[in-house]
Amino acid sequence: MNATSSAPPASGPFWRRGLLLFLAVLALSVPQAALLPLLDRYAKPPLIYWCQAAAYTLLGENAFAARLPSLLATAATALLLMTWGWRLGREQTGAGAGLLYAFCFQTVQQGRVATADALLIFFMTLTAFAGWMILRPKVPGRVHGACFLVLALGVAGGFLAKGPEALLPFAPLLWCARGAGRNVITGLIVSFLAGLALVLLWAIPAYIESHGDYVNQGLREGVWDRIFSGLQGHGSSSLFWYLLGVPLYYPLLFWLSALPWSPLLVIHRKKLFAAWKPDLTDSYLLLNAALIFIIFSLMVTKLPHYTLPAFPFLALCFARRWESVALPKCTLTQLGWITGLAFALLTAILVPIAIANHATPSPVGELVREAGATLTPDTQFALVDFQEPNAIWEMRRVVKGYGQTIPQSEILASLSRPGPCAILLTSALWQQIELNSNFSQPPWKLFHARGFNAAKGSFVDLTLVVKP
What are the tens digits of pLDDT across the range 275-287?
A: 888 888 999 999 9
Q: 227 pLDDT exceeds 60? A: no
pLDDT of residue 233: 47
Q: 55 pLDDT exceeds 90? A: yes
| Percentage of the chain modeled with pLDDT above 70 | 83
pLDDT of residue 57: 93
Q: How confident is residue 4, by pLDDT bands cut at 50, 70 and 90? A: very low
Q: Which of 61-75, 239-253, 345-359 has the lowest mean pLDDT?
A: 239-253
Q: How confident is residue 5, by pLDDT bands cut at 50, 70 and 90? A: very low
Q: Please enumerate in sequence order all residues whose Cβ is within 8 A of that of 161, keeping only pairs 6 or more positions apart, or say none.
A: 44, 45, 47, 48, 116, 119, 120, 123
Q: 433 pLDDT exceeds 50? A: yes
Q: How confident is residue 11, by pLDDT bands cut at 50, 70 and 90? A: low
Average pLDDT over residues 307-322: 93
Question: Which of 159-163, 313-317, 410-414, 438-442 is most confident?
Answer: 313-317
Average pLDDT over residues 444-448: 91
Q: What is the pTM of this model?
A: 0.84
Q: 3 pLDDT exceeds 60? A: no
Alpha carbon distance 59, 161 (integer Å): 22
Average pLDDT over residues 18-24: 90
Average pLDDT over residues 17-39: 83
Q: How confident is residue 442, by pLDDT bands cut at 50, 70 and 90? A: confident
CA dihedral 156→160→164→167, nearest 10 degrees, is -30
Q: How confident is residue 219, by pLDDT bands cut at 50, 70 and 90? A: low
Residues 116-140 pLDDT 10s:
899 999 999 999 999 999 988 665 6
pLDDT of residue 12: 63
| Better pLDDT: 252 or 395 | 395
Q: 251 pLDDT exceeds 70? A: no
pLDDT of residue 458: 78
Average pLDDT over residues 344-354: 81
| Better pLDDT: 183 or 42 | 183
Residues 355-402 pLDDT 10s:
676 555 678 888 998 999 999 999 999 999 988 878 888 888 888 887
Residues 84-103 pLDDT 10s:
999 988 888 899 999 999 99
Kindly report the number of other CB atoms within 10 A of residue 361's CB atom. Answer: 18
Compute the mean pLDDT over every residue in the chain, rounded to the nearest whole number.
Answer: 84
Which of 106, 280, 104, 266 has its CA nearest to residue 177?
280
Q: 9 pLDDT exceeds 80? A: no
pLDDT of residue 113: 82
| Better pLDDT: 166 or 137 | 166
| Better pLDDT: 163 or 241 | 163
Average pLDDT over residues 289-304: 77
